[in-house]
Chains A and B, each alone.
Chain A
C-alpha cells in the first residue's frame, strides 16, 4: 500500500516539475489598415448649421499587449476628404491638432493630439438625403462610405401641456406617467432621451440641470433612480412621482436659489449606421455569455471605421408657478 502511494506521489511530483506556463505569442503579421471615423452632426431644423467631422488613423503595433505604449501618433494629416450630397461636393478642412480627450486621465499615451477634419455650415441638407464621404490618403489609397440622413421625427405626448407643465393632472384619464412618443420609428435606430429641470444657485450665474429619472426602482431594499439608456423603442415614460421627487431633490441642493421655470426634453437620434456601430461597441446580448471575435460594425469601404449621423431634438415647457411653489421651502 505504502509503495503504491509513494509511486503515485512520485508521478505527481514529476508532473509538478513540468512547465505550467509557456511563452506564447498571440500576434500575427501586422498589416497596414486605415480607419476613417466621420460623423455628421445634423442641425435640428436641417437648415444650415450642420457640421461634418472626420479623423483618419492607421493601425499600429506595439511590443506586448498594451496599446498605450504606442509612441507614434497614428492620426494621419494631409488626407483629402470629400463630402457629397445633393448640393454638391465639398472638401473638409484640416483643423489644428486637437487634444485627445482620453489622455487627460492616466494611463497617458505617448501621443496626445489628433488630426481632425471638418466642414461647417453645410447648406441645403434635407431629411433622408444620401450623403457620401470619400477620403484620399497621402499614399493614394481611397476610403469611402455613404449613408442616408435621418428623416426627422414628430414628437407626441400623453398629455398636452398647453400653458404650463405640472404633474397635478387627472391621473385617472392620463395615467401616472408622462409618455413621449416619436414617429418615424424603426428598430434599426437608437434614441437616447433626457428630461431635465434647470435651476440656479446663489453662488453662480451658471445654469444647472438635474436629469429626471424615468422611475425609482427597489434594488436590494434601496430605491434607486432609473435613467433612460439608448433604446430602439419609440417612446419613453416618466413617472409623475419621479418628476416630483426630482423637483424636491433640487431644492435640497446646496446653495439652491430658484428654478429657471422650465422643464426640457432632449433626445439624441442616431442613424442606422451609427446605431449599429454603437450597439456593436457597447451592447451585449447578456451578462454571462462570452463571444469571441465579435465584429465591430463598419461601413467604410477600403478600411474600417464608421460614417454616421445624429441629431438632437429639443422640446421645453414652462413649469406652472403654482407647481413650483409646492417645492419651495
Chain B
C-alpha cells in the first residue's frame, strides 16, 4: 500500500511540475459570470465557447467560467444554454492578460423552452465527472409529487439509487447505507435532511438553484462519507426586482420572497405543514400528529468599492419536526437542524479562484417519554466547519484545486435500548484534512484528475488511513463517445445508530465512531461509457465495484451491560448502470436500468441488506402539450427487497399478567422467523402521473398541478408484521393537487 501511495505522489508531483513548461505563448484568458436577464441569478452549466477554436468552458455552480489559452486578438465568444437565447460577443483578447466578460442571457419563452431539462456540456469534452449527476429544478418539477415535490424522490429515479419504500425519501447509493450519503447545503452539512420520519426531505425545491449528486468516484474536494455526495446550492435571489411566490399543497404552505439590495440580492423561503392527515396515507393509517417547518435565507453582497471581484454570502437554514401528542400517556418528539454560514468567493488577479466557507450546523433530536413506556433518548450535535478551497487554472487548460478543511464536532447521545441497556456518549473531535486535485485538460482527447486527501487530525480513535488517493480519467476518442474511469478510497468517521431493521425510525442519532471499533473505509472502482448517439439522445453505461470495511452495526441484542455495544462488519457491492436520455422541445424521456448486488459479511455470516435491489428500472417522461400544458409520468420497477421469511409458528409465553402464578398456562401463537433477509419480496412497480398548467392571471404567474401516485393501485408489500406475519402495503392510489402563484 505504501508503495502504491508513494508512486502515486511521485507521478502527481512530476506532472504538476511539468505543467508550467507547457504554457503556450501568444495567448490570453477570459473569465466572468453568466446571469439570467430576468432575475440576475447565475446560470449554471451554460457553455462559453471561443468560436473557431476548441477552447471553452461550462459555468460552474457559481455561474463562473474561465477559459485560458485563447489566441490574442478579436475573438467571437458564443454563450449558450438550452433554455436561453444564445449570444455572440466579440472580445479583444490581450496577450498574457485575463479579460473579464460578464454575460446576461435572456430566457427563451416558455413555449420554446419545452421540456428541456439540463444542458449538455459541449465545452469541456474531457471533463472528469464519472458518477456525477446534475439535477435541474425542471427535472424536479417533472416528477409527479403527490404531497410535496422532493429532491430526494428525484434521486430515487436515478440509476444506482434505490429506496426501501414509498414512505421514505431515504436513498441508498450503489449498495451503501443511508448514513453514508453526505448532504451539503451551500457547503454546510445537514445531519437530518428529512421531515416526518423520512417521508420528505427538508430541502424545499423553491430554494434550490442547482443540485449536484455524486454517486461515487467523487474527487478529493469531498470526503467524510463513503457512498455519495449531494451538493445543494440555493438561489441567490432576484437581483432586478422584488418577487413573491406562494404555493399550497395538501400537506403544506410555502412562501418565498426575494429581491435586490445595494450590491447584491436576498431570498427568504419558508414552508410549514398544516395538515398531517395526508401522512396517514404514507404510514398505513397510523395516527401521526406531525408538524414541520423549514426556513432558509441567503444574502449576497459584492461591493467592488470594498473588494474588487469578491462576493460575500450569508446563508442560513432551520428546520424542525415535532410529534406532539397532547397526551401525557404518549411520548413527544422533536428534531431540529440549524445552519448558519458565510462564504467569501474571490476571483483573484491571477487565474485563481478561492472559496472560504465558515459554517455552523446543529442537530437536536429528543424523545420525551412523558408518562409512556417509551425510552427517553437525546442526541445533540454541533458542527463548526471552516473550509478554504482554491482553484487555479493554468494556461495549458489544466486546473488545480487545493485546500484545507476543518471540522469541529461535539456530539452528545443518551439512549436506552429495549433491554434497558443505556448508551451514554459525550464525544468531541477535530478533523483537519488537506486535499489537492490536479486536472489535466491539456490534451484534446484525454482528461485526467489526480487527487489526494490527507487527514492530519481525525475525529475518531480508530482513525482511517491517512491518505485517500483518487483518480478520474476521461478518454474521448471521438466527439460522440467517451470512456471514463474512476478509482479511489474513501472514509467516514461519523455514523448513525440505526439498523436496516428499523424501516421507520423516529430517532436516528449521530455518533463519532467510538473507541474500540474501526472507522468505515471504502475502495471503489468504476468504469463508464458515455455516448451521444444524436444531438438529442445520450447513453450512459457504468460498472462499479466497491469493497467496504469496518461498517458499524449496533448490537441490537445487547442484553448484558458488559456486552459489546457495537460491532464491525464488512460489505461489498458491485453492479451495472445503464441510462438513456432523449430531449427535444416536445419530449423529455429518461430511462435507466440498474443491476446490482450488495451484501454484508460478519464472520462466516453473509447477508443482504434491505436495500440490496437486484434489478431496477425507472422511466421518466415529460411531454409539452402546448399552451402551457405539460404532462409527466414516472414508472418504477424494482426487484423485491430482501426480507426475513416465516419459518414456522410457535407458542410464546406472553406474561400478560405478571401477578398470576400460572403464567406458564397462557400462550400466544406467534411467527418464528427464518434466516435474516434470506428471501425476496415480489417485484415493486408503480406509475405516477401528473398534469400541470402554467397561466397568467393579471400580474401573477399561476401553476396548477394535479397528480396521481400509484395510478393502478399496485399493492406493493412494505413489510410483514413481526407478530402476525400479515402483509403491510406501501402507498395506495393517491390523487393530489397543488397550486403555485408567483407575483
Contacts and interface: CB of A to CB of B under 8 A. Distances in A.
B559 A297 contact: yes
B378 to A, nearest CB: 13
B422 A187 contact: yes
Interface stretch (B252-260, B598-606, B716-724): B716-724
A31 B647 contact: yes
B418 interface: yes
Contacts of B626: 1
Interface stretch (B147-155, B310-318, B325-333): B325-333
B56 to A, nearest CB: 38
Interface in A22-81: 22, 24, 26-31, 33, 35, 37, 39, 41, 53-55, 57-62, 65, 67-68, 70, 74-75
A62 B648 CA distance: 8
Interface in B650-709: 650-655, 658-659, 661-676, 678-679, 681-683, 687, 689
Contact of A28 (B330, B501, B678): B678
A288 B286 contact: yes
Nearest to A68: B669
Nearest to A12: B711
Interface of A: 1, 4-5, 8, 11-12, 15-16, 18, 20-22, 24, 26-31, 33, 35, 37, 39, 41, 53-55, 57-62, 65, 67-68, 70, 74-75, 98-102, 109, 114, 116, 187-188, 190, 192, 194, 217-220, 226, 229-230, 232, 266, 268, 270, 272, 274-297, 304-306, 310, 312
Closest 3 pairs (CB-CB, A-B): A67-B669, A28-B645, A67-B649
Contact of B419 (A15, A29, A280, A312): A280
A35 B420 CA distance: 25
Contact of A37 (B422, B664, B678): B664
A57 B651 contact: yes
A284 B373 contact: yes
Interface stretch (B83-91, B201-209, B504-512): B504-512
B679 to A, nearest CB: 6
Contacts of A74: 650-651
B650 A60 contact: yes
Given A286-B507, A291-B502, A192 B650 contact: no
Interface residues of A: mostly helix, strand, loop or mixed?
A: mixed
A28 B647 contact: yes
B197 A285 contact: no
A219 B109 CA distance: 59
Given A4-B625, A74-B650, A281-B654, 14 more contacts: A12-B689, A16-B711, A28-B675, A30-B647, A33-B650, A54-B664, A59-B648, A98-B665, A220-B326, A272-B560, A281-B652, A283-B373, A286-B506, A304-B672
A290 B504 contact: yes
B665 A62 contact: no
7 contacts: A24-B681, A28-B646, A35-B651, A188-B560, A274-B655, A290-B719, A294-B722
Nearest to B417: A285
B669 A293 contact: no
Contact of B665 (A8, A101, A285): A101
Contacts of B663: 39
Contact of B725 (A24, A26, A192): A26
Nearest to B326: A220
A286 B722 contact: no
Contact of A278 (B501, B655, B675): B655
B373 A229 contact: yes
Interface string B509-547: 000000000000000000000000000000000000000
B644 interface: yes
B375 interface: yes
Contacts of B719: 290, 292
A310 B664 CA distance: 13
A70 B286 CA distance: 31
Nearest to B329: A219
Given A61-B648, A288-B288, A294-B722, A279 B419 contact: yes
B371 interface: yes
Most chain A beta-carbon neighbours within 10 Å: one of B417, B651, B652 = B651
Interface in B465-501: 499, 501
B559 A276 contact: yes
A65 B725 CA distance: 7
A194 B668 CA distance: 25
B722 A33 contact: no
A16 B711 CA distance: 8
A322 to B, nearest CB: 32
A110 B330 CA distance: 38
A21 to B, nearest CB: 5
Contact of A26 (B503, B631, B665, B679): B679
Give the one of B283, B652, B661 with max A CB within 10 A.
Answer: B652
Nearest to A274: B655
